Amino acid sequence: MTSSIKERLPFFVLTLDERVDLYADVLAITGKPSSANHEQAADLKRVVFEGVRTAVKLGIPRSSVAIWADGDLGESVLLRAKAMSIGTSASPGSGLETVKHLFVDYIGIQLSFNPDSPLNTREQLLKQLEGLSGSSREGSIPLIVELDSTPTPAQIDNFGDSMKARANLLVKSIEQFQDAGVNSGLWAFDSKGIESYTATLAAQAHIDGRQSKVLLSTSNDFLTRNVNDLTADEKHITRLAAQTHGVDGLLIGPGAYYHQLVDFHKGRISRDEAILSISNHLINMSELFEKSRAASPVF
């Protein structure tokens, strides 16, 4: 396995898609949302975007930031980010025509894939993804593939434990995607529990000189209270990403903004306070990443 990848500027993608149900989890709405509820939820996403914009104003290079939002509630966020030259991503579930209309920089896909699943199932999915990545190349819209793999009991027995099985399946999955012609501009995965395999996964993503970015997922546990101070898990994953050759940055989940939105909606903090808190959280992650990379003997 070879790689010609050179270390680049850190890259941070904030996920502002449908990982949190803003209607149910923040606005506490049951039943079908009204048009007023829709605007409330869309405005909450704009609060998060303002946090990103503030972080850029305070020093994070705009070329190092991207926002992954949905094409419905996140449409105005994507358009505003694009106008500021902040990277954007939307899922194909929004409809490819919608994605093209929003002029996003990436098409984002969340995927659980088992490389030992039935051949016909894998071939069908890989063909769809190859077609999508082919369309992306023609339209100059690369893919973000956020990948996971859940091992079967037989696979766990074969590898000895669930984490070792998962890590090996992820490496094999990336290889199968590449062999099928699925070209991803960016790979992201959760390295918790498989930290020792992170460099191997990054090397597979970059095999044969591929210039894909690799991100580690963090801040997915949004029920844990972590407003400005980073959680132990966030610190651990940020340091791991910074110190692993071939890893470019972080895919940041709702933990970076969920509680700020709840507090803002309930009137415990002002809009400006919510924006500043989200900004501070992102800046803290960026500063820890930079500090950890500078201190790493690998670099």
pLDDT tens per residue across span 201-251: 999 999 999 989 999 999 998 877 656 689 999 999 999 999 999 999 999
Q: What is the predicted pLDDT for the residue at 4?
A: 42
Helices (H), the chain: 35-57, 75-83, 96-101, 119-138, 153-159, 162-179, 198-205, 232-243, 258-265, 271-295
Q: Which domain holds residue 47?
A: 11-112+183-209+219-295
Within a domain: 224: yes
In a domain, 172, yes or no: no
- CA pair distance 187, 245, nearest whole angstrom: 14
Q: 61-90 pLDDT, tens per residue?
A: 999 999 999 988 999 999 999 999 999 999
List, in sequence order, every residue forming a beta bridge with 68; answer none if it has no partner: 15, 89
Q: Would you tell me how many other CB atoms lie within 10 Å of the CB of residue 88?
A: 25
Tokens representing residue 31 in the block: 């039943």
- Please give the Cα distance from 168 to 204 (Å, whole number): 11
Contacts of 279 (CB under 8 A, 6+ apart): 51, 52, 54, 55, 58
More confident residue, 96 or 253: 253
Distance CA 141, CA 213 (A): 14
Distance separating alpha carbons of residues 105 and 87, to the nearest angstrom = 6
Confidence tier at 138 by pLDDT (50, 70, 90): low
For 243-254, the pLDDT digits (tens) are 999 999 999 999
**Is the pLDDT assigned to residue 102 strictly greater than 80?**
yes
Average pLDDT, whole number, for the chain?
90
Cα–Cα distance for residue pair 14/16, rounded to 1 Å: 6
User: Is residue 239 a part of any domain in this protein?
Assistant: yes
Q: Is 261 inside any structural domain?
A: yes
Per-residue pLDDT tens over the stretch 162-199: 999 999 999 999 999 999 988 899 999 999 999 999 99
Are residues 277 and 260 in contact, defined by beta-carbon separation less than 8 angstroms? yes
DSSP 138: H
Q: Per mean pLDDT, which range of 17-26, 42-51, 99-108 is the poorest?
A: 99-108
Contacts of residue 208, defined as CB under 8 A and 6 or more positions apart, other chains included, come to 2
Q: How many structural domains comprise the chain?
A: 1
248 found inside a domain: yes
- What is the pLDDT at residue 298? 66
- H or E segment at 109? strand 106-112
119 occurs within a structural domain: no
Between these two residues, 136 and 213, which has the higher pLDDT value? 213
Does position 99 have pLDDT exceeding 90, yes or no? no
What is the distance between the alpha carbons of residues 33 and 41, in angstroms, rounded to a whole number?
10
Residue type, 59: G
pLDDT-above-90 percentage for the chain = 76
Q: Is residue 242 part of a domain?
A: yes
- 161 pLDDT band (50/70/90 cuts)? very high
pLDDT reported for residue 95: 62
Is a pLDDT exceeding 80 seen at residue 98? no
Residue 288 lies in a domain: yes
**What pLDDT band is residue 272 in, cutting at 50, 70 and 90?**
very high
Q: Quote the pLDDT of residue 66.
A: 96
For residue 289, which of 225, 245, 240 has the smallest C-alpha distance?
240
d(CA 99, CA 32): 25
